Amino acid sequence: MRSALKTLYEVTGILGGIFMVLLLVFVLYSVGPGVGLWIEQTFGLPNPITYVARSADEFAGYAMLASAFLALASTFGRGEHIRVTLFLQRLQGTPRRLAEIWCLALGSLLTGYLAWFSVKLCWQSYEINDLSTGLIAIPLWIPQVGMAVGAVVLCIAVIEQLVVVATGGPLMEDPSGEEAAHLER
């Protein structure tokens, strides 16, 4: 089960990376006629004076949303989210485990609410056929799916880590490298 979840986290992380590349493409496409002309000539895309070019900022925003949310679980699983460990690192043994459990329980509640809200928002946008206000009217549930999926997978990752720590498994990763050396001084 854990290997399937780790695969899920990695797949959403890769999707987040793909959307980051799309973000770059949309930003470059909208920067100016020179970049748009280069993209047109290199990839055979339409003239940048089309609706797509004028909507590139909007598409870049959608790609940024999907990129950020889809990569959350993968980043969390690798222990690369910013954590305030000043207090936790001073604890050892059972107090440390209890503090980790408390933090992960609170994180589970918060990410659960975020996941619930994101799915609800996406579903409501679908039900009422909410459309973007840009030149190209896009159903808003489409870009919101990335946010909803990313929030749900992050919630699963936090709950999984809570179960691991609560059942006596390893604690969350400690900082490594310079950060750990700095904290030891």
53-77 pLDDT, tens per residue?
A: 667 788 888 999 999 999 999 888 8
Residue with tokens 């980051």: 20
16 close to 70: Cβ distance less than 8 angstroms: yes
Q: Calculate the alpha carbon distances from 181 to 90, 93, 104, 142, 176 in Å.
A: 14, 21, 25, 45, 8
Dihedral angle over CA of 137, 139, 16, 72, nearest 10 = 130
Of 79, 72, 81, which is closest to residue 151 (Cα–Cα)?
Answer: 72
106-156 pLDDT, tens per residue?
A: 999 999 999 999 999 999 999 999 998 877 888 999 999 999 999 999 999
Range of the domain at 152: 2-184
Tell me the whole-structure pTM to 2 decimals. Answer: 0.79
105 close to 162: Cβ distance less than 8 angstroms: yes
Please state the domain count of the chain. 1
